[in-house]
Every structure is written in C-alpha cells, then in structure tokens.
Amino acid sequence: MNLSWMAWTWPTATFFITIALLLAGMGVWEYFSPGGHPRVGLLRFETTRGDRLFVSLLGSAFINLAWLGLVGPNLWWALALSIAYAVGVFRWV
C-alpha cells in the first residue's frame, strides 16, 4: 500500500489505526454495557471509561514526547511505560 499521499509511514499509520480501534472497542463495550459505571478514583472526581481512555491517551502522548526529548528515538520502553500508565489509569482513576 502506498501511503505517500500524506507523508504517512507505517508507524504513523499503525498509531492512528490503534487509536481508531481503541475508540471502536470502547464503542462496542459501551453498547453491551451502557453507562460505564462512573466512579470516583484517585483524582477525586467522577470518571467514566471514556474519561479514563482520554486521560490514558493524553498521558501516553506526554510520556512519549518526554521520552523523545530526554532519551531519544527508541520508543519501545516508552510504549511499555505508556501501557503500564494506561492500565494504572483504568485501575485507579
């Protein structure tokens, strides 16, 4: 597949496909279990699954940007840290 129409690379396309799949998965989850059972967690305000996904994605973006600035372009450890962060957000926030 030629992705040069928008200077796409495979890692960039994979990133956006992953975001789309996360959103679709959250939509399916909401369809089968509506409401998401809002809860008050570590941040001391009520959050839903969608709120926690947003906080996870936003935090992961900052983790990856900080990694790029402080460590360099090898982002595999930043990915692992982002996944651990997202698990923590969904568990305790």
Per-residue pLDDT reduced to its tens digit, 2-45 = 666 767 778 778 888 999 999 999 999 989 988 778 899 888 88
48 contacts 36 by C-beta, under 8 angstroms: yes
Number of domains, the chain: 1
Quote the mean pLDDT of the chain: 89
Whole-angstrom distance, CA of residue 60 vs CA of residue 77? 12
pTM for this model (two decimals): 0.81
Range of the domain at 36: 4-92
Interacting residues of 55 by C-beta distance below 8 A, sequence separation 6+: 47, 89, 93
